């Protein structure tokens, strides 16, 4: 009997485009199941995009406003230095942040007659001191009392001046298992040995600062520093330099502008202390005089006509307005509102530190949990899809479909759902984050809108949705691909 020849031909391979069309057909036929998967992905990606978008916008606003906040604080810092000498701890912390090009190095060199190289050597010791002071502040009061007794601030270094006291400190520290010291005992011992020299230099700086402040007080002739800056202007800045402070032109201009702005703000606010002016403002707002507040005054002064009316009332009461015009008053009102926005932005952005991309540790863990939940939801939906399609899978295999084809179809379906869910979730998360940040930062966000970074974050979010869907679908796809045709046919 002749044996029949079996002609085994090579298995035809469908093109990728054809496979994608088959996957799209499967999605359309199971639209309800697909919509559930898309919703799971969209929720997770909306949450991810929301926290990414908010962190990016907060960082951009913080970067844009940091220089302006620094300018305001620099003026306040100078006013404080001109009024009273810094404490020993303040000088130590200042030294810990100095670089050779700083004007403060030149100032300390002129005041104390110390070479800049020697001052920089003290700066290194001060940096170590600042670390130990930070450690002291980081532990609770009870542990601090056990370790250092009643000593506080830099007095701790004086209290640990002997070897016996140091041994006691380290033995008590070793008993506190939950407290981790910032350096090794040897490094701390070396620092304590250098502390007397640093303290001597800091004390000398403080003494010279007190002398310079005394010269400033003599130059004031009974006025406040703000009054002297407003009245004398540049000549008083020369008095500041003559007293021993190194005040460059940029800081002098900032200080003068700050003093003039503060004086004008005080003039406008003090106008409410006049009973007649207060009654006029209350009548303008149609409220009782005792309901008028400073914030309410600044709100109405944003209008130039109202500002002109208010200045006219001050003039009638013979109140000195220091060259204020309606335009200046309205500008001050807008500027004051802007500074309030800057302060609000600083508080809001200081809360988001650490974690991935600066979104904060807590939000990072929440995002991770949402991703895990998303993966579980996708895997569950895909497994349900495999269960529903046993006969379809068996028919495809009987027609010659390979395991790789079956797995590819399921993975492409998952990627399609991941893309759709990622786009929807990214759009929703971006809109929600934008609305919330606009409510918090208002015009600050408009002027520093990070469109490029947000587009990059949106691309990352959509990509994460696709990757999550593909990874979550690996096991269901593998299960579908390995299913035996006859076994699948027996399942109802």
In this structure, is residue 267 part of a structural domain?
Answer: yes
Under DSSP, the state recorded for 100 is T
Question: What is the reported pLDDT for 127?
Answer: 92
What residues make up the domain containing 309? 261-350
Same domain, 361 and 287: no
- Contact criterion met (CB below 8 Å) for 208 and 110: no
Same domain, 335 and 443: no
Same domain, 160 and 287: no
Residues recorded for the chain: 492
Same domain, 329 and 371: no
Looking at 233, 258, 283, which one is the last position of a domain? 258
In this structure, is residue 140 part of a structural domain?
Answer: yes
Quote the CA–CA distance of 105 and 6 in Å, as a whole number. 95
In 3D space, the residue among 426, 11, 128, 79 whose CA is nearest the CA of residue 237 turns out to be: 79
Same domain, 131 and 217: yes
Same domain, 119 and 237: yes
In this structure, is residue 104 part of a structural domain?
Answer: yes
Quote the CA–CA distance of 413 and 26 in Å, as a whole number. 8
Quote the CA–CA distance of 253 and 234 in Å, as a whole number. 9
Question: What is the reported pLDDT for 321?
Answer: 73
In this structure, is residue 21 part of a structural domain?
Answer: yes
Looking at 236, 258, 280, which one is the last position of a domain? 258
Same domain, 323 and 217: no
Under DSSP, the state recorded for 182 is S
Question: What is the reported pLDDT for 268?
Answer: 85
Under DSSP, the state recorded for 85 is P
Same domain, 93 and 222: yes
Same domain, 308 and 164: no
In this structure, is residue 235 part of a structural domain?
Answer: yes
Q: Give the distance, in angstroms, between the CA of residue 139 and the centroid of all CA atoms in the same chain.
A: 25
Report yes or no on whether pTM surpasses 0.75: no
Same domain, 143 and 116: yes
Q: List the pLDDT tens digit at each of the 492 positions of the chain.
A: 556 665 555 666 666 677 777 777 766 766 667 787 788 888 888 888 888 888 888 877 777 777 667 777 777 888 888 888 889 999 999 999 888 888 888 999 988 888 988 999 899 999 999 999 998 888 888 888 888 888 888 888 988 888 888 888 888 888 888 888 888 889 999 999 999 999 999 999 999 999 999 998 888 887 888 788 877 677 888 888 888 888 888 888 888 888 888 888 888 888 888 888 888 888 888 888 888 888 888 888 888 888 888 888 888 877 777 678 888 888 888 877 777 777 766 666 655 555 555 556 666 777 677 777 777 776 776 667 666 666 677 777 776 777 777 778 778 888 888 888 889 989 998 999 899 888 877 777 777 788 888 888 889 888 888 888 888 777 777 777 776 766 656 555
In this structure, is residue 2 part of a structural domain?
Answer: no
Question: What is the reported pLDDT for 205?
Answer: 92
Domains: count for the chain? 3
In this structure, is residue 4 part of a structural domain?
Answer: no
Question: What is the reported pLDDT for 222?
Answer: 79
List, as one string, the DSSP characters of 222-287: T--HHHHHHHH-HHHHHHHHHHT----HHHHHHHHHHHHHHHHHHHHHHGGGSHHHHHHHHHHHTS
In 3D space, the residue among 39, 42, 445, 74 whose CA is nearest the CA of residue 253 turns out to be: 74
Looking at 258, 292, 320, which one is the last position of a domain? 258
Question: What is the reported pLDDT for 145?
Answer: 85
Same domain, 93 and 205: yes
In this structure, is residue 432 part of a structural domain?
Answer: yes
Same domain, 242 and 332: no
């Amino acid at each position: 009997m002749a044996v029949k020849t079996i002609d085994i031909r090579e298995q035809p391979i469908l093109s990728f485009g054809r496979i994608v069309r088959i996957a799209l057909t499967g999605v359309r036929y199971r639209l309800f199941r697909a919509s559930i998967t898309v919703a799971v992905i969209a929720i997770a990606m909306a949450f991810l995009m929301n926290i990414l978008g908010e962190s990016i916008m907060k960082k951009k606003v913080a970067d844009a406003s940091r220089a302006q906040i620094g300018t305001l604080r620099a003026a306040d810092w100078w006013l404080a230095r001109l009024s009273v000498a810094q404490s020993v701890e303040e000088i130590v912390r200042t030294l810990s942040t100095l670089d050779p090009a700083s004007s403060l190095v030149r100032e300390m060199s002129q005041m104390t007659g110390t070479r800049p190289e020697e001052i920089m050597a003290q700066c290194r010791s001060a940096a170590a001191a600042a670390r130990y002071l930070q450690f002291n502040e980081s532990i609770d009061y009870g542990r601090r009392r056990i370790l250092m007794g009643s000593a506080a601030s830099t007095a701790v270094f004086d209290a640990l001046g002997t070897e016996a006291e140091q041994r006691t400190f380290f033995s008590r520290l070793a008993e506190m298992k939950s407290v981790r010291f910032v350096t090794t005992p040897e490094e701390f011992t070396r620092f304590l040995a250098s502390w007397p020299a640093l303290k001597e230099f800091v004390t000398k700086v403080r003494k010279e600062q007190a002398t310079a402040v005394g010269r400033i007080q003599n130059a004031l002739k009974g006025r406040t520093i703000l009054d002297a800056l407003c009245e004398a202007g540049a000549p008083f800045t020369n008095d500041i330099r003559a007293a021993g402070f190194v005040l460059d032109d940029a800081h002098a201009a900032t200080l003068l502008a700050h003093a003039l702005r503060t004086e004008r703000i005080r003039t406008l606010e003090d106008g409410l202390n006049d009973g007649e002016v207060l009654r006029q403002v209350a009548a303008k707002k149609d409220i009782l005089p005792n309901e008028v507040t400073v914030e309410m005054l600044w709100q109405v002064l944003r209008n130039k006509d109202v500002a002109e009316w208010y200045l006219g009332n001050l003039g009638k009461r013979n109140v000195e307005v220091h060259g204020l015009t309606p335009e200046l008053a309205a500008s001050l009102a807008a500027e004051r509102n802007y500074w309030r926005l800057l302060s609000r932005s600083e508080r809001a952005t200081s809360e988001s530190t650490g974690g991935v991309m600066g979104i904060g540790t807590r939000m990072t863990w929440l995002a991770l949990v949402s991703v895990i939940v998303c993966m579980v939801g996708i895997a569950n939906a895909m497994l349900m899809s495999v269960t529903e399609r046993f006969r379809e899978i068996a028919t495809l295999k009987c027609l010659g479909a390979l395991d790789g084809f079956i797995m590819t179809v399921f993975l492409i379906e998952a990627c399609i759902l991941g893309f759709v869910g990622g786009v929807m979730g990214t759009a929703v998360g971006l809109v929600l984050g934008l609305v919330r940040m606009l409510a918090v930062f208002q015009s600050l966000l408009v002027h520093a809108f990070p469109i490029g970074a947000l587009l990059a974050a949106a691309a990352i979010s959509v990509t994460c949705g696709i990757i999550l869907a593909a990874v979550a679908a690996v096991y269901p796809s593998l299960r579908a691909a390995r299913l035996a045709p006859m076994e699948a046919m027996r399942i109802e």
